[in-house]
Amino acid sequence: MKIKIAVVDDEKESADTLVGFLGKYFSAIGEEYETVVYTDGMDLVSAYKPYDLIFMDIRMKGLNGMDAAHTVRGMDKEVAIVFVTNMKQLAIKGYDVGALDFIVKPIDYANFEMKMRRVMNELRRRKDVRIMVSQYNMGAVLSSSEIYYIEVLGHTVIYHSSRGEYKTRGSLSELEEKLRPVHFRSCHRCYLVNLAFVEEINENGVVVAGQSLPMSRLKKKEFYEDLANYLGRSR
């Protein structure tokens, strides 16, 4: 997924540091992102467009970060806000606008990376794919994060999830395309696996949420590589 980020800071050195750290972090995890820098809170809110994440300096000339955050929150209930400040006590007020976290200046990369792991976990959770499953003339909506793996038997698709099993009719190839952005991969022509629930890979196949599934020789190399990349991003 491509993460859209705004950096709002009237101190050029601080903004440049954040932009540099973002480049280093996203290069390491292999995710796409784009960054827009604002030097004033008013510039952000006057022509606001949806972002996934905003780094907001609190003390700025003109419209300060706290007031800008209140205005943004009135327009966008979902965006993750991380306050950047010289004084930790000011950041505590940020929770009034549902701030996800705060970073104290001067910013060091180790602390920034730790905060970003939390941010990315939250953003991935928010970007769940939701699937409507119909069975026995009834429907259920499943989030991708609660699906362990998907099995296909003939024309029947079985969702193995934290809420139990759901059966419906469908195509595994269509689901594979839909769920690829949220880290589902095929280990076999009959199985699509949520990489978040892989517990073990052995000579017999792959263990997912306690269940042993077969691994196709043709899919093994790609599955290994995708799992390694996923685990690297999730660190």
107 or 47, higher pLDDT: 107
Shared-domain flag, residues 143 and 78: no
Shared-domain flag, residues 113 and 194: no
125 Cβ contact partners less than 8 Å away, ≥ 6 residues apart: 145
- Contact call for residues 56 and 102 (beta carbons, < 8 A): no
How are beta strands 32-38 and 211-213 bridged, if at all? unpaired
Instruction: Please name the residue that has the structure tokens 């970073």.
Output: 103
The number of domains in the chain is: 2
Shared-domain flag, residues 114 and 6: yes
CATH, residue 75: 3.40.50.2300
Q: Give residue 191's pLDDT.
A: 98
Q: By residue range, what is the domain housing residue 52?
A: 2-126
Shared-domain flag, residues 77 and 176: no
| C-beta atoms surrounding 2 within 10 Å | 9
Rounded to an integer, the average pLDDT of 175-186 is: 90
Shared-domain flag, residues 148 and 36: no
The domain boundary, picked from 79, 111, 126, lies at: 126
85 Cβ contact partners less than 8 Å away, ≥ 6 residues apart: 57, 58, 59, 65, 91, 102, 103, 104, 105
pLDDT digits (tens, 9 = 90+) for 153-167: 998 999 999 989 999
Task: Using alpha carbons, select from 42, 92, 99, 48 the residue that is nearest to residue 67.
Answer: 42
CATH, residue 186: 2.40.50.1020
142 Cβ contact partners less than 8 Å away, ≥ 6 residues apart: 130, 131, 133, 159, 161, 163, 166
pLDDT digits (tens, 9 = 90+) for 78-91: 789 999 988 766 65
Shared-domain flag, residues 76 and 177: no
Shared-domain flag, residues 9 and 102: yes
pLDDT digits (tens, 9 = 90+) for 97-153: 778 888 988 999 999 999 999 999 888 777 778 888 876 666 678 889 899 999 999
Task: Using alpha carbons, select from 159, 118, 162 the residue that is nearest to residue 139.
Answer: 159
Q: How much is the mean pLDDT over the chain?
A: 88
Q: Give residue 176's pLDDT.
A: 92
Joined together, the tokens standing for residue 92 give 């505590």
| C-beta atoms surrounding 95 within 10 Å | 12
The domain boundary, picked from 93, 126, 159, lies at: 126
Shared-domain flag, residues 116 and 187: no
The domain boundary, picked from 70, 95, 126, lies at: 126
Instruction: Please name the residue that has the structure tokens 């419906």.
Output: 168
Shared-domain flag, residues 117 and 172: no
203 Cβ contact partners less than 8 Å away, ≥ 6 residues apart: none
Shared-domain flag, residues 13 and 116: yes
Beta bridge pairs of residue 142: 131
Shared-domain flag, residues 101 and 186: no
Shared-domain flag, residues 47 and 120: yes
